[in-house]
Structure 1
Amino acid sequence: MLGVAMLFGSRIGFGLEFHVEREPYLLCVDIFVGGLHVNTWDNAFYPPLLVKKLKDELSRFRTPTAPPAGFTSPLKAFRLVEDWWSDDAGSGTASAAGAELERHRFLDWGECTDEVLAFAFPDGDQVHLVCRVRDGGGFTWGTEARCEPTVVSVSRTVLVEALEDALVIAERESSARLAASKARETRDGGDVSGVRSS
């Protein structure tokens, strides 16, 4: 029986929707940015990896931060990084700005987010999210863009709250899955440390 989905944040801003009872070993989480469901192809995360990635993201957004050097708008910054990645020479002002902006990569959370290229640009009490979903092969060059970039600005506080709430669930579910796995191993004979011979 499927459990009730738990949404942290919002689908129209930034949201993480957990479906904790769908998979016994993995955590099923749908990710939304600006109304776009960015991981429709795979939403089953390895729990310890998801916990780590949520902690990494939280460490970036807990305090207000000025916009990065070279930032003028989310869309322009996104296109500058795309241009920087596709520029084989990698030289000039665009290269320096692209390298700086690339450090703001977002949703780099493993296989489930391979096909979305996303950035989170801090701007004081706001965070500007911009992403593009690509077909086949993730964000690598030569793959077709599935859509134009999606852009949304969210409150830094709201983003942090969504990540914090998601982290609580991810840690709880990760621990529960680990305990269940150990119990199965013990039951199936994988752990015989407590068995005495007669």
Structure 2
Amino acid sequence: MLFGSRTGFGLEFHVEDDPQLLCVDIFVGGLHVNTWDNVFYPPLLVKKLKDELSRFRTPTAPSAGFVSPLEAFRVAEDWMCGDAGTGTASEAGAEFARCEFLEWGECTDQLLAFAFPDGDRVHLVCRVRDGGGPAWGTEARHEPTVVSVSRTVLVETLEHGLAIAERVWSARLAAVRDRSDTRDGGDMSSACSS
């Protein structure tokens, strides 16, 4: 089930593949950004989705010095690599780096993404890297992908994703408890019949 869109921002859940796993494909601007791994640890995904939602529920003005999504991405990436220099460039890099997005564990390690707020729009910019994940010396697999989405649509997509992630995690916890209760109950009944 797909929430959002593949051409904007989308989360495609594959709950039916295996109810014990939380498989999610992430799309940004038509790019499938986690082709190498789409199996998420449910409690981490739930936490990360909640964190993202808290950032985007309210319209926010762009950061000072914001000119374009691609330029902000390049400044943030340089700052994160230690190439931003000092003074204003360093301050802008630090400010833009706070907009990091999709830091959702192993499945997004090979992705550098930012979500730059701009009132009722959010500009998503990401770059997928070859081998090494967050290692800054790796070759880029793609030039940065840029897409602007409605903040409302982004929030709705994250909310739907959170609802599914919480439901899957609750079902997994219930199944574990049921197995535990069955074993405990089975042990008790056999002990009582002796």
Bucket of the pairwise TM-score, normalised by the shorter protein:
over 0.9
Report if the CA contact (8 A) 2:77-2:97 is conserved. no
Does 2:171 match 1:176?
yes
Change (3 A) 1:104 1:89: closer
Residue 102 (str. 1) matches residue 97 (str. 2): yes
2:188 to 185, 195, 198: 195
Contact 1:133 1:139 in 2 (8 A): no
After TM superposition, the structure 1 = structure 2 runs for residues 70-85 of structure 1, keeping only pairs within 5 Å, are 70-85=65-80
Is residue 193 of structure 2 the alignment partner of residue 167 of structure 1? no
The 10-residue stretch of structure 1 (132-141 or 106-115) with the greater mean CA deviation from structure 2: 132-141
Q: Normalized against structure 2, the TM-score is what?
A: 0.92
How many equivalent residue pairs?
A: 191
Cα contact 2:99–2:114 (8 A) shared by 1: yes
Supply the RMSD in Å over aligned alpha carbons. 1.7
Shift of 1:165: 1.0
Moved over 6 A (4+): none
1:68-126 C-alpha deviation (Å, 9 max, x unpaired): 12211000000001211223685222111000100000000000000010000000000
CA distance in 2, matches of 1:174, 1:99: 35
3-state secondary structure, aligned to 1:195: helix
TM-score (norm 1): 0.90
Distance 1:66 1:193 in 2: 60
Aligned residue in 1 for 2:60:
65
Q: Which runs of 5+ in 2 are unaligned?
A: none
1:113 aligned partner, one-letter code: T
Counterpart residue number, 1:147: 142
Determine what percentage of the aligned residue pairs are the same residue.
76
Secondary structure of the structure 1 residue equivalent to 2:24: strand
